[in-house]
Amino acid sequence: GIFLITLIVFSFTCFAAEKADKDAILQEISAFIDKSPDAIRPVIFSIADEYVNNNKIDEAVALYEKALKILPSSEDLLSRLANLYNRKADYLKAVNIYKKMIELKPDNIWYYNVLSDTYKNAKLDDKAAALWEDLMKKSNNPDIFMQAANFYKNQNNTDKAVLAVKKAIELKPDNTAYQQALESYYVKLEKFSDA
């Protein structure tokens, strides 16, 4: 009986020491995070990836949301969270994240593309179209017009796609890829003399 009691007491003290060590390490990590918050990103990604691999999407979402309270403008955290919301078909939350990403980096055309795609996934094609219309009114970036052309092509609106490509060519006439894109649209419209 004494051996068993000694074993139980010993295991409790080992556990207590182990917990105290863990708490001390967590306290040290916490102080480090305050000084260098970006240091936690790889750990967050590892834990979230493990959740996703085990199909625990809600846990991964919750972890990213907590991490974003520490790193509110971390594009990779925002992007991963938006991807998870898309995976859960919670498109409006994904839309809000992509809007925030656009606020952070308004020159990143990819963010407009994923926002547009998320609108389409949410069956909000009119909002996706409005996004490109608004961008084309404000922008002098030919790549915006080419992305808008791709959007219109995917919407089977080749006429609008042609107009967008023409504007891209007007902004950057020496880009042969734009010329080739225009030619392919004319072929699709069977306007062979324009091609």
**What phi-psi label fits residue 175: left (phi over 0), alpha (psi between -120 and 50 degrees) or beta?**
beta
Question: Which pTM was predicted?
Answer: 0.76
pLDDT tens per residue, range 136-167: 999 999 999 999 999 999 898 888 988 998 99
* Residue 175 pLDDT exceeds 70: yes
Contact call for residues 165 and 149 (beta carbons, < 8 A): yes
pLDDT tens per residue, range 50-104: 999 999 999 999 999 999 998 899 999 999 999 999 999 999 999 999 999 999 9
* Res 180: pLDDT: 83
Q: 162 by DSSP, 3-state: which?
A: helix
Mean pLDDT of the chain: 84
